[in-house]
Amino acid sequence: MNSTHGMIKAQIEDEMLVTYGEDFTDDTNLFEAGIMDSFGYVQLVGFLQDTFGIAFSDDFILTNVMVSLARMTEAVEAQMQLAQAS
Amino acid sequence: MCGIAGILSLSEGGRPPATDDLIAMMARIGHRGPDAAGYMRDRHAALGSVRLSILDVAGGDQPIQTEDGRYVIVFNGEIYNYIELRERLTEQGDRFVTTTDTEVVLRAWAKWGVASLAQLNGAFAFAIYDRKERSVVLTRDRYGKRPVYYTQAQGQTYFASEAKGFLDIEGVSFETDPAHLATVLGSWTPLPHQSCWRGIEILPPGHSVSITEDGPNTPQPFAPLRFAEPELTASHQGAAARTRDAITEATRLRLRSDVPVGLYLSGGLDSSIIAALLSDMLPQGVRSYSVSFEEAHLDEARYQQIVAERFGASHTSLPVTARDICAAFPNAVYHAEIPVFRTAFVPMFLLSRHVSDDGTKTVFSGEGADEAFLGYDLFRETYMRREWANLDLAERKARVERLNPYLGHYSNQTHGALLGLYENYQSEKMPGLFSHEIRYQNGKFAQRLLADAELGAQAFETLSTYAENDEVFAGSDPVQRAQWLEYKTLLCGYLLSTQGDRMGMAHGVENRCPFLDPNVVAMSGAVNRQFDGIWQEKAVLKQAFPELPDEIRARHKHPYRAPDSASFVAEQPDYLELVLSSGELARSGMINVSFAERLVRKIMTSPPERISVRENQAFVYLISFQMLQEQFVTRRATPVADRAGLDARLTTKLDTLEAA
């Protein structure tokens, strides 16, 4: 697993009191599993933007709802590539 | 207002009820009736009352029976339309001995039977014993303002205003019902028929239950919740006028009292409306009461003062600190009897003590207005989520910006992230529970406290089934369904009980809620969303009461809260050991110790701004659950009942067995 994935995973574990492999996997819908609430989601989006130096546009966030670790990792990497390309 | 208790042994050869048991039950709920106490007993039933004297102070001692001795009543609460019912009964030949509402209920039942129940406008729970039929009926008001529990042991049926009434009864054990606990953790409150204690029943609001020699029958509804009122064909002005009339009449009816009344003034719109009305109705002015906090984001003292000054109320504000909350928490939890998700009930416990010390026995409050007139943002959020797919980006942002401004993570900087959140909640995932899905998804976090992980999902299935089996719910639109769920869960399961009746009656203070008058609720159903497009919060109410200060009219709904986990972290009370010790956490066998330890560690070591609402809630659930185990289950910290105090005011004894 790459560092982006690992950093996001660690943040979820710390902030949401869960253990990877036990409480969630890459594809677990974190909302439906009761792991992520509105506060946690807002915190996490802030963490992703601050940590990886990216900014999600409203359009992007509406079309890329980051409900799982895998979706978050993809979204961050896509935004980072976009930033590098521009 | 009072407390009631009873022992029923209705079979032919049953063991007669024991006076000592009844007295023990009455002593356990003695706080509900500090003025007088009385009981009756015969071979098949013993009915007790502890009385808070509000009407006919001198002549209203209970129990009361009909002249022929057939019917006997013990009554808790107030019937606000008792004068009108009394007039009708008098016209039909009844002759009254007292001027109490209790006697009106008794005679109405004797004359009209079950048909009398839907005519009662009030807050009540009562038991009527029919000696001829050898049966008892327990009844509870339509919104759940007054409680009544029942259970069976040793071939007898016991009932009491509070579950703690059974604490000293041999054969009644207290064990937390794991399914009920899972419901509380998931949805903040038990369902209306869940007591949280295995084998102990609570009568749902708007129901009565008949008890015969075979035991309790299935409770029957007498006043189903309704929303589909015919829409009012009136102008904005006409709707506002009709709404004002309904609330004014409801307030006038609730002024019927032979003792002074006060007002809980929150600083919000609803209690301000009552302040305005009372200032017109009470020439001597009204005494108003509130709590204030050091924490600026919780404190509403400024608004309370504005309203008190505008309407000439004699106002007292009780400062409540984290230390006060920690000190009172065990006692308040004992009175609540169920695990709780926030600490806001504790200041109400302290406030009722202050009100009682001030010589006030009954207080008005604005409870019920948010459910009736769509005060909570939950209703607007439901509407927005249902329309989400049809809204463009600008409309979505505009809607989100109007929600929950009191929550720190609903600020301008976070609206982008919130768009993503709502994108994920636009379709129903939990059958029937669309409106509350965000709350209930968060409830899954608290359910992780359960050692048995299967219970959480089962609790939501139970809730879905409970809602979808209700005809009114099934026929309602999403916003009305949200209302239905609020009435059936948060209102009766917390606001009217844990934060209302229990905290007030802990110190012999009863509350009166004009917004829970059936006519006001019906009026709200006729005007809601016709005149405000849902996005203008309580527009009809604001138009109906133009005399309210501008500061109050302009305020967004501010939910009443108190300092939560930070209080315990700062004060480190001795009982914190209940959640710090893994041995204590494991004692009940119901808690997932490793998750609980992780939660407690985060709470104890993180700055308050890092603690989410749901983490706060899970922590308060945990510590209140642990405390209830101490008080009710292991009995290591059960408060002592005031038996001597009860004996001193036990003036009415109708004991045919002893006489024989």
Q: Is the pLDDT of residue B258 over 90?
A: no
Q: How far is CA B343 from CA B79, B350, B414, in A?
A: 31, 12, 27
Q: What is the rounded CA–CA span in Å between residue B397 and residue B418? A: 9
CA B192 to the chain's CA centroid: 11
Q: Which residues of B touch A39 (CB under 8 A)?
A: 407, 409, 612-614
The helix/strand/coil state of B595 is helix
- Smallest CA–CA distance, residue A12 to chain B, in Å, is 14
C-alpha A16/C-alpha A72 separation (Å) is: 15
Alpha carbon B559 to chain centroid distance? 16
pLDDT on residue B228? 65
User: Cα–chain-centroid distance for residue B510?
Assistant: 12
A 24-53 residues with CB < 8 A to B: 31-35, 37-43, 45-46
Summary count for chain B: helices (H), strands (E): 28, 19
Beta carbons of B3 and B154 less than 8 angstroms apart = no
pLDDT of residue B413: 62
Burial (CB < 10 A; 0-12, 13-18, 19+), residue B660, is: exposed
Chain A residues whose beta carbon lies within 8 Å of the beta carbon of residue B397 = 58
pLDDT at A56 over 80: yes
Residues of B contacting chain A (CB within 8 angstroms): 393, 396-397, 407, 409, 414, 416-421, 423-425, 429, 438, 441-445, 447-448, 456, 595, 598-599, 602, 612-615
The per-residue pLDDT of chain B, averaged, comes to 94
Mutation target for A interface from B188, B423, B445: give the one with most A CBs within 10 A: B445
Kindly report the pTM of this predicted structure.
0.95
Please compute the mean of the pLDDT values over residues B447-458 and round it to a whole number.
96
Cα of B592 to nearest chain A Cα, Å:
13
Residue B93 pLDDT more than 60? yes
Beta bridge partners of B41: B46, B655
Cβ-nearest to B417 among A34, A45, A59: A45
Residue of B nearest to A61 (CA): B420
* Residue of B388, B421, B422, B602 to mutate, interface with A, max A Cβ within 10 Å: B421
Q: Which of A33, A42, A57 sits opposite B409 (nearest CB)?
A: A42
Render pLDDT for B3-23 as a digit per residue (tens, 0 to 9): 999 999 999 988 999 999 999
B251 pLDDT above the threshold of 60: yes
Q: What is the DSSP letter of B319?
A: E
Could you write out the DSSP letters of every residue in B505-550?
Answer: HTTT-EEE-GGGSHHHHHHHHHHTTTSSTTTSTTHHHHHH-TTS-H
Q: CA of A84, closest CA in chain B: separation in Å?
A: 23
DSSP string, A30-62: TTTTT---HHHHHHHHHHHHHHHT----HHHHH
| B402: Cβ contacts below 8 Å, ≥ 6 apart | B380, B535
CB pairs under 8 A between A and B: 80
Question: Could you count the other beta carbons within 10 Å of the beta carbon of residue B186?
Answer: 27
Answer whether A45's CB lies under 8 Å from B416's CB: yes
Closest chain A residue to the Cα of B606, Cα to Cα: A15
Contact A65 B429 (CB under 8 A): no
Residues of chain B with C-beta less than 8 angstroms from the C-beta of A57 = 416
Confidence band (pLDDT; 50, 70, 90) for B257?
confident
**Over 90: is that where the pLDDT of B309 sits?**
yes
What mean pLDDT is predicted for residues B110-137? 97
B194: confidence class by pLDDT, cuts 50, 70, 90: very high
**With an 8 Å Cβ cutoff, are B613 and A66 in contact?**
no
| Chain B neighbors of A35, CB-CB under 8 A | 444-445
Give chain A positions within 8 Å (CB) of B437. Answer: none
**Contact assignment for B409 to A33 by CB distance below 8 Å:** no
- Residue B35: its H or E element: none
DSSP one-letter string for B461-479: HHHHHHHHT-HHHHTS-HH
Q: Which tokens is B32 given?
A: 């509900």
| pLDDT at residue B557 in the model | 83
Interhelix angle B437-447/B613-628, nearest 10 degrees: 50
Report, as an integer, the average pLDDT of A56-80: 88
* Contact between B420 and A46 using a beta-carbon 8 Å cutoff: no
- In angstroms, the separation between the Cα of residue B447 and the nearest Cα of chain A is 9
Span between the terminal Cα atoms of chain B, in Å: 32
| Under 8 Å between Cβ of B261 and B78 | no
What's the whole-number mean pLDDT along residues B317-321? 97
pLDDT for B529 = 81
Q: In whole angstroms, give the CA distance from residue B64 to residue B128.
A: 10
Nearest to B604 by CA among B562, B568, B575: B568
Percent of chain B surpassing pLDDT 90: 82
Tell me which DSSP letter residue B73 carries.
Answer: E
Reported as type and span, the H/E element at residue A17 is none
Q: Which residues of A touch B598 (CB under 8 A)?
A: 17
Q: H or E segment at B292?
A: strand B287-293
Give the pLDDT of residue B658.
75
**ipTM computed for the complex:** 0.89
**A33–B444 CB contact, under 8 Å:** yes
Indicate the residue of B416, B442, B447 with minimum beta-carbon distance to A58. B416
For residue B429, the chain A residues in CB contact (below 8 A) are 32
The answer to whether A71 and A31 have CB atoms below 8 angstroms apart is no
Q: Which of B134-138, B417-421, B463-467 has the lowest mean pLDDT?
A: B417-421
Determine whether the interchain pair A45/B423 forms a contact, defined as Cβ–Cβ distance below 8 Å: no
The CA distance from A39 to the nearest CA of chain B, in Å, is 6
Token readout for A42 is 């807002």
Judged against a pLDDT cut of 80, whether residue A64 lies above it is answered with no
